[in-house]
Amino acid sequence: MSHSEFIAVGCGVLTLSDTRTPETDTSGRLLCERLTTMGHRVESYEIVPDDRALLRARLVQAVEDPGIAIVICTGGTGITGRDITPDVIGELATREIPGFGELFRWLSYRDIGSSTVQSRAGAWLCQTTLVFALPGSTNACRLAMDEILTEQLDVRHRPCNFIQLMPRFSEV
């Protein structure tokens, strides 16, 4: 089915950080602005400390919220002990979407070279909610939004996109 009009969905943004505040969270703010500019609704935005139980609770809350179709997390995608975002999402995931992380790192290579191998950016389907894990860097969030998600979160993008698949996520 071809769509000619944009379809807005509810989104959640989670920043994983022990140090950021709403005033200093440029990455979370950029994600909220990009989603809103596209025409989506940011239903929730929160800064969550790098704590496994807290992140899991916030993700479960978002996944179970019928008003949220997409969650974008920023931060916690590296390889240090406190970088837990992909691990926690993976525990809740029903499907991994490996192409997102692969494409993100491929695009990121232009900007940061081989350092991109340290990123565990990724995407998963958690029940019927799309969940993305982006690095905490504002430039990385900009790259993901501008070069991947702006198209994939727009039902008019051809040949295919995440939005058009949403009604089929619960198929058996």
Q: Answer for the pair 14, 46: CB distance below 8 angstroms, yes or no.
A: yes
Residue 1 domain-assigned (yes or no): no
Residue 27 domain-assigned (yes or no): yes
Q: Answer for the pair 48, 54: CB distance below 8 angstroms, yes or no.
A: yes
pLDDT for residue 6:
96
Residue 89 domain-assigned (yes or no): yes
Residue 3 domain-assigned (yes or no): no
Closest by CA position to 104, among listed 72, 81, 80, 82: 72
**Which range of residues forms the domain containing residue 103?**
10-167
Residue 77 domain-assigned (yes or no): yes
Category of 127 on φ-ψ map: left (φ > 0), alpha (ψ -120 to 50) or beta? left
Q: What is the CATH number of the domain that holds 50?
A: 3.40.980.10
Which own/partner contact pairs does 50-56 have at CB distance under 8 Å and 24+ positions apart?
50/16, 50/17, 50/18, 50/75, 50/76, 50/82, 50/83, 50/84, 52/84, 52/87, 52/88, 55/14, 55/16, 55/84, 55/85, 55/88, 56/88, 56/91, 56/92
Mean pLDDT, each 10-residue run in order, the chain (172 residues): 85 96 96 98 96 97 97 97 96 97 98 96 98 98 98 96 95 86
Residue 4 domain-assigned (yes or no): no
pLDDT for residue 117:
96
pLDDT for residue 4:
82
Give how many domains the chain has, as a whole number.
1
pLDDT for residue 23:
95
Residue 138 domain-assigned (yes or no): yes
- Phi, psi torsion values for 46, nearest 5 degrees: -150, 145
Distance CA 122, CA 119 (A): 9
pLDDT for residue 172:
81
pLDDT for residue 1:
55
Residue 39 domain-assigned (yes or no): yes
Q: Parallel, antiparallel, or unpaired for β 122-126 and 95-96?
A: antiparallel
Distance CA 32, CA 37 (A): 8
